[in-house]
Chain A
Amino acid sequence: MPWLSYHKALNRALGDELARDPAVFVLGEDVRVAVSNVTAGLLKRFGPDRVLDTPLSEQAFTSFATGAAMSGRRPVIEFQIPALLYLAFEQIVNQAHKFSLMTGGQTRVPVTYLVPGSGSKTGWAGQHSDHPYALFAHAGVKTVVPATPEDAYGLLTTAIRDDDPVVVFAPAGALGVRADLDHEGLAPVPLGVGRVHREGEDVTVVAVGHLVHDALAVAEELAGEVSVEVFDPRTVYPFDWDGLAASLAKTGRLVVVDDSNRMCGIAAEVVATAAERCDLAVPPARVTRPDGAVVPFALGLDLAVQPDRAQLTAAIRKVLKQ
C-alpha cells in the first residue's frame, strides 16, 4: 500500500479538481514553482491560465477571485501565510461571503481559500503562527480544518465544488501526517459531517486538525484508565452538532481542545452548545491558547501557548473526577 501524506493529498485534490472541471483555477504567490509544495506539478499539467502566479497583492487577488467566481469560475487561492487572511478579511468576510444574501440570491461566490501551514510552525514567531479559523466560523464563512490525508483530500475537493466561499485551514502540525492509502480510496467528504476517530465510553474529546492526533495519542495513553471518544467535526462551520450530541449522549462528559485563543474561540462555542443541548454529567473543560495570545519566538515560549497533551490529559482527568 502506498503512503499518502497530507501534503500530497491536498496536491492530489487540486490536480483532480483542475482536471475534472475547467472552471477551476489556482492562484496565489509562487504557486507555479510551488514553494509550499501544495501546487507541485500543476503548472506543467494545466498551464499558466489555470495556475496563476499573483503579485503580492492579497487584497486585490482575493477580490479578483470573487469577480471571477461571480463570472462562472471556481478559484482556489493559496495563501502563503495564515496571517495574510487578516489583510484579506475585508475581501472574504465583507465582500465574498455577503454577496449571495445581499444580491437576493442572484450570485454565488465559489472561492476556496486554502491555507497550508496554519498555526504555529515553531520558530516563525508572532506574525506567522496564528490559526485564525475561529474568525471565519464566527463570520459565517464555511471553515474546514482537516486532520488526516484522506480528509484533507475529501474536504478540499468538496470545498472546491461548494457554491459558497470556503476557507480550508491545513494545520502546520498536520501537514506531515501520512496515511496508508491509495488514490482509489480518496473521495469527497461532505462539509458538516464529523468523524469519530476512536470510540469511547467515558468522555468525548472534541478536536480538529493536528490536535486530533494529539487527542488520539492521549486516548491511547489513558486507555487502561479511561475510555476516550475522539470526535473530529472536520468542519468547524458548519459544525456537526448532531454528531457531537450523539457522542455526548453516550459519554456525558466533554473536553474540547482547540488551537484558537480562548476568548470567543471554537471551544467556547462547543461548550456553550453542549451545555444548551446535551445532558452533561459534569461541567465541561476546554484546552486552548490563552486569551489574545501572540505566539512568542523561543521554542519553549511558543510551546507554552499551544494546547498540549499534558493539558489535555489533565482536563480529561478533571472532568472524570467530578
Chain B
Amino acid sequence: MAVLITVVAHPPDSDVGLYRAVRLIRRFEERAVDLVRSGDIIGGIHPYTGQEAIAAGVCAALRVDDTITSTHRGHGHVLAKGADPARVLAELAGRATGLNRGRGGSMHAADFALGILGANAIVGANGAITAGAAWAARQEGSDRVAVSFFGDGAVNQGVLLEAMNLAALWRLPVLFVCENNGYATTLTVSDAVAGTITGRGAAFGMPSATVDGMDPRTVLDAAREAVDRARAGDGPSLIECLTYRFDAHHTWEHKARVRYREDDEVRSGRQRDPVEIQGARLDDGERARVDAEVQSVVDAAVAFALDSPHPDPVGALDHLYATGMRARPGGGG
C-alpha cells in the first residue's frame, strides 16, 4: 500500500507562513553572500538582510496573479512572491537554469509566470512600469493589483513621482511600497528628502501611511488594506515601511572601507530583527521545523545552482529581440 505523505503548506499570511518567508529570505541572503565571497556569484549583490518583513508581509497580501516589480535589492521580493529559490540562486550564479537563463543576474530577476515583472537596477524606474501593468489588468476586466517596491532613494526620482500622478489620476490598482532603510547607499534620508515620504503620496491624493517595516504582520495588515482598496477600484496607496538594512549596501562594501554608519547604530538597528519578531509568534517545535525545512531548501538551491551549466557563450545575444531578429556580430572579419 502506498504511503500518502501530506505536506501541509502554510498559507503565506499565517504566522508560520510569514515566518517561513522571512526565514527563507534571510538564509538565502546569507548563503548568497557566501557565494559572493567564494567567487561563485560575480558582481556581488545588494543583500536584503533586515528588510525581510516587507517582502514577506506585502507578498502575503497578494494573489499569484497579482504583479510586482522590484529593485536592485530584489531577492526578497522575488522569493516572497514564490519564485523557486534554486532558480533564483542559479540566476545569481549566472547559470543557464536561472530564472532569466543567466541573462539577468541579481538585479534583474524576473518570473512572469508568478507575476514577477522583474527587478530593476535603475532607482525609481519600476513605478511607471507597474502603473502600466495595473492599467492593462484593469482593461482586461481583471481585479489584479500591481505592487512597486522601491527604496527611500527613489522618492527623489522624477519618473516615480510622475508615475504616482498617473496612478492616482487614473485610479489604478497600484501599491507603492517604499522601503525606508534610512540610507540611499551612504546618503541618509534626512540629507536627501525634503518634506516626508508619505507627503509624496498625499500630494497626489493617495492614502499614505508609515508603518513598522520590521514586523511582517504589521506590514501585512497595511498591505492588505491597500490591496483591498486597489481591488475594489479605489486607486493606489503608498506605504512607507520603516526598516533597517543589517548588511552592506552592496557586497563591495565588505572589502571597501567606506564608513557611514556608526557601529552602535548598526548594533541597535539589528536589535529588532524580523526573523526574531515573527519567530517569537511560533512555538519552538514549529519554529525548528520551519528552520530545518528552509535550511534544506537553501542547501538544495546552492547545490542546484552550482551544479547547473553555464550558458553557452554562442547564445550571448539570444532573446535580444522577441522576434528572434539577430544582431550583426561585433568581432573582426
Residues of A within 8 A of B (CB): 49, 54-55, 57, 59-73, 75, 90-91, 94-95, 99-110, 140, 142, 162-164, 192, 238
Query: Which residues of the partner chain B approach A54 to less than 8 Å between Cβ atoms?
Result: 166
Bound: A103/B101 CA distance, A: 8
B320 contacts A100, CB within 8 Å?
yes
Of the listed stretches B28-36, B281-289, B293-301, B321-329, name the one at the interface; the rest are far from the partner chain.
B321-329
**Given the complex, which residues of A lie within 8 Å of B327, measured CB to CB?**
140
Residue ID in chain A nearest B322 by CB atoms:
A108
Interface of B (DSSP majority class): mixed
B contact residues vs A (CB 8 Å cutoff): 67, 69, 98-104, 108, 110-112, 117-118, 120, 122, 125, 127-137, 139-140, 146, 158-159, 162-163, 165-166, 169, 317-323, 325, 327
**Which of A59, A67, A108 has most B Cβ within 10 Å?**
A67
Q: Which residue of B lies closest to A162 (CB)?
A: B323
A64 and B166 in contact, given A102-B103, A102-B104, A105-B322 (Cβ under 8 angstroms): yes
Question: What is the total of A-B residue contacts with beta carbons within 8 Å?
Answer: 150
Check A105 against B132 for contact (C-beta < 8 Å): no
By the criterion CB–CB under 8 Å, are B129 and A64 in contact? yes
Measured in the bound complex, the distance between the Cα atoms of B162 and A202 in whole Å is: 54
Taking the nearest CB of chain A, how far is it from the CB of B68, in angstroms? 12
Interchain CB contact under 8 A, B132 and A68:
yes
Contact B122 A62 (CB under 8 A): no
Known: A49-B139, A101-B103, A102-B100. A67 touches B323 (CB 8 A): no
Given A55-B169, A67-B136, verify A103-B159 contact (CB < 8 Å).
Answer: no
**Set of chain B residues within 8 Å of A142, measured between Cβ atoms:** 321, 325
Q: How far is the CB of A39 from chain B (nearest CB, A)?
A: 19
Known: A60-B163, A64-B135, A66-B129. A90 touches B322 (CB 8 A): no
* A280 CB to nearest B CB, Å: 19
Question: Across the interface, which residues of A come within 8 angstroms of B108, CB to CB?
Answer: 102-103
| Structural contact, B159 and A104, CB atoms closer than 8 A | no
List the A side residues contacting B112 at CB < 8 Å. 70, 103, 106-107
- Please give, as numbers and ranges, the residues of chain B lying within 8 Å of A57 by CB-CB distance: 162-163, 165-166
A164 / chain B contacts, CB cutoff of 8 Å: 321-323, 325
Contact A105:B131 (CB < 8 A) given known A57-B166, A71-B137: no
B102 near A64 (CB under 8 angstroms)?
no
Contacts of B320 in A (CB 8 A): 100-101, 140
A100 contacts B125, C-beta separation under 8 Å: no
Give the shortest distance, in Å, between A54 (CB) and chain B (any CB).
Answer: 8
Which chain A positions have C-beta within 8 A of B103? Answer: 101-104
Measured CA separation A106–B99 after assembly (Å): 9
Whole-angstrom CA separation of A109 from B136 in the bound complex:
13
**New A-B pairs, 14, CB < 8 Å, besides A61-B162, A102-B118:** A57-B162, A63-B125, A67-B117, A67-B128, A67-B129, A67-B131, A70-B133, A71-B133, A91-B125, A95-B120, A95-B125, A100-B321, A102-B100, A106-B111
Contact sample, A vs B, 26 pairs, CB 8 Å cutoff: A57-B166, A60-B162, A64-B128, A64-B129, A64-B166, A66-B129, A67-B130, A67-B132, A70-B112, A71-B133, A73-B136, A75-B132, A90-B122, A91-B159, A99-B118, A103-B118, A103-B319, A104-B98, A104-B102, A104-B104, A105-B101, A107-B110, A110-B322, A140-B320, A142-B325, A164-B321
Contact status A63-B132, CB under 8 Å:
yes
* Complex interface: chain A residues within 8 A of B111 (CB): 106
Given A67-B133, A73-B136, A101-B319; A90-B104 close (CB under 8 Å):
no
A64 and B164 CA atoms in complex are apart in Å by: 11
The closest CB in chain B to the CB of A109 belongs to B322
Q: CA A172 – CA B24 in complex, angstroms?
A: 57
Contact at A63–B163, with CB atoms within 8 Å? yes
User: Do A238 and B139 touch across chains, with their CB atoms under 8 A apart?
Assistant: no
Question: Which residues from chain A contact B100 at a C-beta distance below 8 Å?
Answer: 102-104, 106
